[in-house]
Amino acid sequence: METSTIVNPAKLDIERVRKDFPILQTSVYGHPLVYMDNAATTQKPWAVLKAMEEYYTDINSNVHRGVHYLSQRATDAYEGGRGKVAEFIHAKHAHEIIFTRGTTEGINLIASSFGKKFIKEGDSILITAMEHHSNIVPWQMLCEERKAILKVIPINEDGELILDELDALLNGVKLLSMNWISNALGTVNPVEKIIAAAHRQGIPVLLDAAQAVQHMDVDVQALDVDFLAFSSHKIYGPTGIGILYGKEEWLNQLPPYQGGGEMIKTVTFERTTYNDLPYKFEAGTPDMAGAVGLGAALDYFQGLGIHAVQDAEKELMEYATEAMQSVEGLRFIGKARNRAGVLSFLVGDIHPFDMGEILDQQGIAVRTGHHCAQPVMDRYCIPGTVRASLSFYNTAAEVDRLVTGIRKAVSLLG
Amino acid sequence: MTIKEEQDEIIADFEFFGGWEDKYEYIIQMGKELPPLDEKYKIEENLIRGCQSRVWLHADPKDGKLVFTADSDAVITKGLVSMVIRVLSDHTPKEIAEAEIYFIDAIGLRDHLSPTRSNGLLSMLKQIKLYALAFQAKSLQP
């Protein structure tokens, strides 16, 4: 009998895995590319590229309601993608999976639809001090429109949430929206505990899982999270498509986000009745090829073994943290005990832009700046950071090149 | 020296450099040598906002010419700023307004003028041209 509880004991063969990603074989300014900007976007394996090519070559047709053969195949492919996502995040039903353009659209959808239905003057929304602008601005817009209040869970010097006052902060809150892992600091937030605290006061929670899906075990039922959003391109899938998960009982209560085709049942000039989940929230022709690509990405990712991926990334993060600490004057921004994916740092008083530029000249791709999290930078009184973000396909040899690159930058700039 | 001669001299300097390190060493040196902008000019009105690094630019009319002083919080940007100042400062508004800036491209730093770099250099060049046009218009007034 097959059982799904067997943990894949195989260790990831990184050199073999790297061959699955064509872009990792390229050179930049004559150096083999070291790609450490994975928190911004991840690279795509052949499996995804081929699935999308095959979709356009053999299957492409508009989905749903088509009487013809191709339309049926396209619908199967598109809905197959939805099924894979549902399985991947352990949703109870496939219709709890809404295809969006990305995390940002998922958050905006909830801000708009939840806002319309539930937010009144004087209500409050709670976020944290380490949110990406995508999880700040939609709420500010909603609060402005509804004369509601935006409250913020503070962070400490290490980049961890201060939760002592959480119960008091939750008082009067209608929705808590927060990231699982911070894109600027790499902090893994104790979301299970926070969701439970919110639920004790009857408050639903939206998780921004943009930086978490590729590093964590995602089980929306175990988390008991009410909404969860992520982007395909951060988990080795194509750009332009993302996921909003919502518990059926919540999604059924929310009004549609956009109007158009697909989301309706009947339309007359007097009245329109809306379609069932998930179509109520998917106005217009959806990104069929994107759904197929995302499905292929999840297949690929699960094929590697999620725990093998996590082990490889944990080992690499530990190696990188230690290796980088050996550089004199280097300090990490965000020293949470539980970090994943992201190493944000500064060296002495070297401007992050200067460091990024010298690393780039050595073929090392990192991100510099405020990482769309200006309040986090203000918290530490810095203009930005240099952020190296790792994936399972990065190697210890690449980390060594990063460290050598940083030393070179220090000698040029210092 | 004319604006063109200054640019050609910079291009000639860069031809001696073997690799990227020499080039950057030179730019960084230029950045470090640029006298810091007087704090009183480091004000909001003089700030050119790039997403990545910030540039402050101050213009002073002097004997019918425009003298620019500038600063940046990133030293590479500051080095580039310093070269732009060397080329364009101390010329008449007309010369500045009409000048074609080609040296950045010629020394292989065209990327730095791309809006996606958001290092403030492109906005700085635009601002210098705007100053020149404004002073030119002012001097033409009866």
| CATH number for the domain harbouring residue B10 | 3.90.1010.10
A385-389/A367-369 β-pairing: antiparallel
Asked if pLDDT for residue A7 goes beyond 60, the answer is no
Check CB contact of B52 with chain A, cutoff 8 Å: yes
How do residues A367-396 score in pLDDT, each as one tens digit?
Answer: 999 889 999 999 999 989 999 999 999 999
Check CB contact of A348 with chain B, cutoff 8 Å: no
Which residues in chain A have Cβ-Cβ distances shorter than 8 Å to B77? 353-354
| CB-based contact A294:A237 (threshold 8 Å) | yes
Q: What's the first-to-final CA gap in chain A, in angstroms?
A: 63
Across residues B24-31, what is the average pLDDT?
Answer: 94
Chain pair A-B, CB pairs under 8 angstroms: 39
Measure in Å the smallest separation between the Cα of A346 and chain B Cα atoms: 13
Q: Which of A357, A368, A410, A413 to mutate to test the interface with B (most CBs of B within 10 A)?
A: A357
Distance, in Å, from the CA atom of B52 to the CA atom of B13, rounded to the nearest integer, reads 28
> What's the total number of domains in chain B?
1
Check CB contact of B76 with chain A, cutoff 8 Å: yes
Contact B74 A358 (CB under 8 A): no
Asked if pLDDT for residue B141 goes beyond 80, the answer is no
Residue A55: exposure state from Cβ atoms within 10 A (0-12, 13-18, ≥19)? buried
Q: Which of B17, B76, B111 to mutate to test the interface with A (most CBs of A within 10 A)?
A: B76
Residue A239 DSSP SS3: coil
For residue B59, CA distances in Å to A96, A291, A407, B131 come to: 59, 54, 38, 7
Contact B20 A413 (CB under 8 A): no
Contact B73 A383 (CB under 8 A): yes
Question: Looking at B1, B47, B51, B130, which residue is catalytic?
Answer: B51
Active site residue B74: no
Distance, in Å, from the CA atom of B100 to the CA atom of B109, rounded to the nearest integer, reads 16
How do residues A146-160 score in pLDDT, each as one tens digit?
Answer: 999 999 999 999 999
| CB-based contact A20:A47 (threshold 8 Å) | yes
Asked if pLDDT for residue A215 goes beyond 60, the answer is yes
Distance, in Å, from the CA atom of B65 to the CA atom of B78, rounded to the nearest integer, reads 23
Which residues in chain A have Cβ-Cβ distances shorter than 8 Å to B32? none
Residue A116: exposure state from Cβ atoms within 10 A (0-12, 13-18, ≥19)? middle
Give the torsion sign (CA, A399, A405, A406, A407).
Answer: positive
User: Under 8 Å CB-to-CB from A90, ≥6 apart: which residues?
Assistant: A218, A219, A220, A221, A222
pLDDT at A42: 98
CATH number for the domain whose boundaries are A49-302 = 3.40.640.10
Contact A357 B25 (CB under 8 A): no
Asked if pLDDT for residue A1 goes beyond 60, the answer is no
Residues in chain B: 142
Across residues A292-298, what is the average pLDDT?
Answer: 98
Distance, in Å, from the CA atom of A138 to the CA atom of A136, rounded to the nearest integer, reads 6
User: Under 8 Å CB-to-CB from B86, ≥6 apart: which residues?
Assistant: B6, B10
Indicate the angle between helix axes A306-325 and A288-304, nearest 10 degrees.
Answer: 80
Asked if pLDDT for residue A43 goes beyond 90, the answer is yes
Structure tokens at A260: 């158009």
Which residues in chain B have Cβ-Cβ distances shorter than 8 Å to A351? 53, 73-75
H or E stretch including A55? none
- A322 closest CA partner among A392, A402, A393, A409: A402
How do residues A87-136 score in pLDDT, each as one tens digit?
Answer: 999 999 999 999 999 999 999 999 999 999 999 999 999 999 999 999 99
Distance, in Å, from the CA atom of A395 to the CA atom of A211, rounded to the nearest integer, reads 20
How do residues B66-97 score in pLDDT, each as one tens digit?
Answer: 999 999 999 999 999 999 999 999 999 999 99
pLDDT at A67: 87
Of A29, A357, A369, the CB nearest to B51: A369
Domain A14-38+305-413: CATH class, spelled out: alpha beta
Measure in Å the smallest separation between the Cα of B28 and chain A Cα atoms: 7
Contact A384 B52 (CB under 8 A): yes
Per cent of chain B over pLDDT 70 is 92
pLDDT at A414: 85
Check CB contact of A358 with chain B, cutoff 8 Å: yes
The CATH 3.90.1150.10 domain(s) of chain A lie at 14-38+305-413
pTM of the predicted model, to two decimals?
Answer: 0.93
pLDDT at A2: 40
Check CB contact of B25 with chain A, cutoff 8 Å: yes
Of A358, A369, A412, the CB nearest to B52: A369
Judged by average pLDDT, the poorest of A298-302, A391-395, B132-136 is: B132-136
Q: Tokens 């956009």 identify what position?
A: A258
pLDDT at B108: 84
Check CB contact of A351 with chain B, cutoff 8 Å: yes
Distance, in Å, from the CA atom of A116 to the CA atom of A99, rounded to the nearest integer, reads 21
Which residues in chain B have Cβ-Cβ distances shorter than 8 Å to A383? 53-54, 73
User: Under 8 Å CB-to-CB from A210, ≥6 apart: which residues?
Assistant: A103, A132, A134, A179, A183, A229, A230, A231, A234
User: Under 8 Å CB-to-CB from A18, ≥6 apart: which residues?
Assistant: A24, A25, A393, A395
| CB-based contact A384:A370 (threshold 8 Å) | yes
H or E stretch including A137? helix A137-146
Across residues A310-325, what is the average pLDDT?
Answer: 97
Print the domain residue range for B58: 3-140
Structure tokens at A295: 């499905």
Which residues in chain B have Cβ-Cβ distances shorter than 8 Å to A29? 20
Question: Higher pLDDT residue, B45 or A181?
Answer: A181
How do residues A9-35 score in pLDDT, each as one tens digit?
Answer: 579 999 999 999 999 999 999 999 999
Question: Looking at A137, A372, A382, A413, which residue is catalytic?
Answer: A372
User: Under 8 Å CB-to-CB from A263, ≥6 apart: which residues?
Assistant: A256, A274, A275, A279, A280, A281, A282, A283
Judged by average pLDDT, the poorest of A77-86, A317-326, B55-64 is: B55-64
How do residues A400-411 score in pLDDT, each as one tens digit?
Answer: 999 999 999 999
User: Under 8 Å CB-to-CB from A281, ≥6 apart: which residues?
Assistant: A98, A109, A113, A244, A251, A256, A257, A263
A330-332/A342-347 β-pairing: antiparallel
pLDDT at A3: 40
The CATH 3.40.640.10 domain(s) of chain A lie at 49-302
Q: Which of B75, B77, B111, B114 to mutate to test the interface with A (most CBs of A within 10 A)?
A: B75
DSSP codes joined into one string, B96-124: HHH----HHHHTT-GGGGSGGG-SSHHHH
**In the 3-class helix/strand/coil scheme, how is A307-372 assigned residue by residue?**
HHHHHHHHHHHHHHHHHHHCCCCEEECCCCCCECCEEEEEECCCCHHHHHHHHHHCCEECEEECCC
Nearest residue of A to residue B119 by CA position? A353
Which residues in chain A have Cβ-Cβ distances shorter than 8 Å to B74? 351, 353-354
Asked if pLDDT for residue B113 goes beyond 80, the answer is no
